[in-house]
Amino acid sequence: MRFIPFACAALMLLSTHALADDSSATLGTGGLVLQKTDKIALVSEDLYLSPTGIRISYRFRNLTNADYATTIAFPMPAFPGGGSNSTTVVPDPANDNFMKFKTVVDGQSVPSQLEQRAFLVADGQPDKEITDKLKALHLSLVPTAEATEATINRLSNAQRKELVDAGIFDAGEGDYTGQPATLYPLWTLRSKYWRQQIFPKGKDMIVEQSYVPVVGSQSTLSLGSPDMDSDQLKHYSDTFCTDETFLKAARSLHKKLDDANPTVQAFEQYLSYVITSGGNWAGPIADFKLIVDKGDPKTLVSFCGDGVKKISPTQFELDIKNYAPKRDIDVLLLRTMPVQ
């Protein structure tokens, strides 16, 4: 497995009044408006990534001689609906807080506000926001059938057909005339959690975040297939830093699946952590530690980083001093299970 440097830190610092509103000046493609501050330093960040849970602990320091009020925002990875073919695993598919996001400040649980925006995303075309359209129909912005089904069933046949014809929902196979049926969202949800925070003078503050990630997956194994072309291989290399050693292992696994009587099933999972929209504090992250836990010793894992150490049969650790964010973290997992 090859590792190259990546950036870290998902928290963003905003000026106190820099929240998005309904004006065209602030509610742009970035949603919440970010502003840098030289008053708060990120002294350390400990980040734990696994398919079953993500935990982050930050130590912030107020560099001034007075209390400083600001807004902290935490961007979540984009959540594509995927339609009827989606294999995305959602922790709580009917809840706005579908990733069970929690925040603790200096040992005390604190509430966070949630900004959600829905977009239709297509290759080669600008993203089209449909947040207001969905809200006008009282539809949840969470792109799962569990979150939207009850409201969809209350709409008229004409309204349902219009949503399918517009590419907002997928009706599955066959011609759809608007009759009651399970419809599957096709939009992509972009979410940010945020809250007002006071950083006291002369004191470090510990901020802890935790959530259950939305783990992308596909039911088969693509990497390692002899049919993969150079563009597909480049995508894996650019995103997950898969090298020849990892490819050799993936090809070996793929051959096992082609046996007349295979003993294992294999599939891919994708875990992402948004970090590049951070970096609004004073200076780099003084002390950063990352642990990636693949969960099962038999799972193959690849992600980008430099100086990674294996610290257990399932965990990989990276320590960086004075680090500045440059890219998001994307983790590829090739998982196996016995054939039933």
pLDDT digits (tens, 9 = 90+) for 125-182: 999 999 999 999 999 999 999 999 999 999 999 999 999 999 999 998 778 999 999 9
Q: SS3 of 206, please?
A: strand
**What residues does 72 pair with on adjacent strands?**
13, 195
To 5 degrees, how large is the angle CA 251–CA 254–CA 257? 160
Statement: residue 28 has pLDDT above 60? no
Statement: residue 253 has pLDDT above 80? yes
**What residues does 60 pair with on adjacent strands?**
42, 205
What's the full length of the chain, in residues? 340
To 5 degrees, how large is the angle CA 48–CA 53–CA 58? 40
Q: What is the mean pLDDT of the chain?
A: 84
Check if the beta carbon of residue 242 is closer than 8 Å to that of residue 222: no
State the average pLDDT over residues 21-48.
Answer: 55
**What residues does 334 pair with on adjacent strands?**
268, 300
Q: SS3 of 174, please?
A: coil
Check if the beta carbon of residue 88 is closer than 8 Å to that of residue 186: no
Q: SS3 of 147, please?
A: helix
pLDDT digits (tens, 9 = 90+) for 201-242: 988 999 998 999 888 888 788 999 998 999 999 999 999 999
Which pLDDT score, from 0 to 100, does residue 257 have? 85
Which pLDDT score, from 0 to 100, does residue 279 have? 61
Name the DSSP letter for residue 89: B
SS3 of the chain: helix, strand, coil, percent, to 5: 15, 35, 50
Check if the beta carbon of residue 131 is closer than 8 Å to that of residue 114: no
pLDDT digits (tens, 9 = 90+) for 291-333: 999 999 999 999 998 889 999 999 999 999 988 767 888 999 9
Give the integer Cα–Cα distance in Å for 197 and 58.
14
Which pLDDT score, from 0 to 100, does residue 158 have? 97
- What is the pairing mode between strands 102-105 and 108-110? antiparallel
Residues 6+ apart with CB under 8 A from 77: 213, 214, 272, 273, 274
pLDDT digits (tens, 9 = 90+) for 80-128: 998 888 777 788 999 999 889 999 999 999 998 999 999 999 989 999 9
**Residue corresponding to tokens 């993500």:** 54
